[in-house]
């Protein structure tokens, strides 16, 4: 279809670029791993070989299957209470992904709305929002999140709220800059000449062109959210201890380092791969969609 039109320009934009970058091996690898993780999290009750909470003191700290003394059925060994490490890692992905998706979306929504308003209306609106961002970013993020969760209480909801409240500034700054960039384009002038209202131009003309950049940023943010959730779990401020999380497993494994390194290794590996996947995906998307880097 493209070729049939005389002088088709090779430049890609928006969703065309989004489609094209799926062929990038990094994006594909990151995307596949995230997809795999999603299946794991959704299908945890069927995929996990054991109940992640079932304790068996007699089988405490057994090593993974390739080592001497491994217990059949416990592929990645057990922790000191005899709970199956593989099952706990699989169940742990549920909290990680929930936080990643929900917290990033909330942060993105909040930041995007404020960034769009600041970049489009400029003036007082812009000055107010920009000052707010600057003040916000002066707080050390990890301390702020620990403080927030300590005040509003532990739990997945609090972790999500903490991440959204802290990280909206990332989205706000980028979306604001991109909105200013788009607002200078001739198509906005043309839309104004037709007589569209300012709000309609913002939502119908500018936002769709800012959206791809936002998507890339959300992916990067998901990696950050997974780390923050692990940190908060590590210090015991995330979900209650009867829900397996990677952070809590790492905290537990740290104390048992000398009895069994694998207790620490399995969740650490998952955390590492997940964040890497989100970063590969986000970086690839950014490269494909960022108007500056595209050239």
> In the complex, which residues of this chain contact another protein (CB under 8 A)?
1-2, 4-9, 11-16, 122-123, 185-187, 189-197, 205, 208-209
CA distance 52 to 110: 36
In whole angstroms, what is the distance from residue 18 CA to residue 141 CA?
31
Residue 112 CB, nearest distance to another protein (Å)? 16
Distance of alpha carbon 75 from alpha carbon 174, whole angstroms: 44
Question: Helix or strand or coil: residue 146?
Answer: helix
Q: Which residue lies nearer to another protein by CB, 6 or 58?
A: 6
CA distance 151 to 158: 9
Closest CB 12 distance from another protein, rounded Å: 7
Nearer to another protein, 48 or 288 (CB): 288
Q: Which is nearer to another protein, 2 or 58 (CB)?
A: 2
Neighbours of 35 (CB within 10 A): 11
Minimum CB–partner distance for residue 290 and another protein (Å): 14
CB of 11 to another protein, least distance (A): 5
Residue 78: DSSP 8-state? B
Nearer to another protein, 6 or 57 (CB): 6
CA 51-52-53 angle, 5° bins? 90
d(CA 62, CA 268): 18
CB of 292 to another protein, least distance (A): 15
CB 114 within 8 A of CB 125: no
Pick the closer one to another protein by CB: 48 or 118: 118
């Amino acid at each position: 279809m493209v070729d049939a039109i005389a002088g088709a320009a090779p430049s890609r934009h928006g969703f065309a670029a989004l489609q094209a970058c799926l062929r990038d091996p990094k994006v594909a690898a990151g995307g596949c791993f995230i997809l795999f993780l999603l299946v794991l999290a959704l299908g945890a009750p069927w995929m996990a070989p054991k109940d992640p909470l079932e304790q068996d003191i007699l089988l405490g700290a057994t090593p993974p299957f390739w080592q001497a003394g491994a217990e059949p059925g416990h592929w990645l060994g057990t922790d000191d209470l005899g709970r199956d490490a593989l099952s706990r890692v699989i169940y742990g992905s549920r909290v990680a992904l929930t936080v990643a998706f929900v917290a990033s979306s909330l942060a993105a929504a909040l930041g995007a709305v404020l960034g769009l308003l600041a970049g489009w209306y400029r003036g007082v609106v812009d000055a107010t929002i920009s000052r707010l961002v600057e003040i916000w970013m002066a707080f050390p993020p990890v301390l702020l999140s620990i403080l927030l969760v300590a005040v509003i209480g532990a739990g997945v909801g609090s972790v999500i709220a903490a991440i959204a409240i802290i990280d909206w500034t990332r989205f706000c700054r980028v979306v604001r800059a991109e909105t200013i960039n788009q607002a200078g384009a001739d198509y906005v002038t043309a839309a104004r000449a037709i007589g569209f209202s300012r709000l309609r131009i913002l939502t119908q003309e500018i936002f769709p062109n800012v959206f791809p950049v936002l998507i890339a940023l959300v992916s990067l943010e998901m990696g950050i959210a997974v780390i923050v959730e692990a940190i908060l779990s590590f210090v015991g401020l995330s979900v209650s201890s009867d829900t397996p999380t990677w952070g809590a497993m790492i905290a537990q494994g740290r104390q048992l380092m000398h009895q069994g390194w694998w207790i620490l290794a399995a969740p650490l590996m998952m955390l590492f791969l997940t964040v890497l996947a989100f970063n590969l995906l986000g970086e690839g998307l950014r490269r494909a969609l960022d108007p500056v880097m595209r050239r």
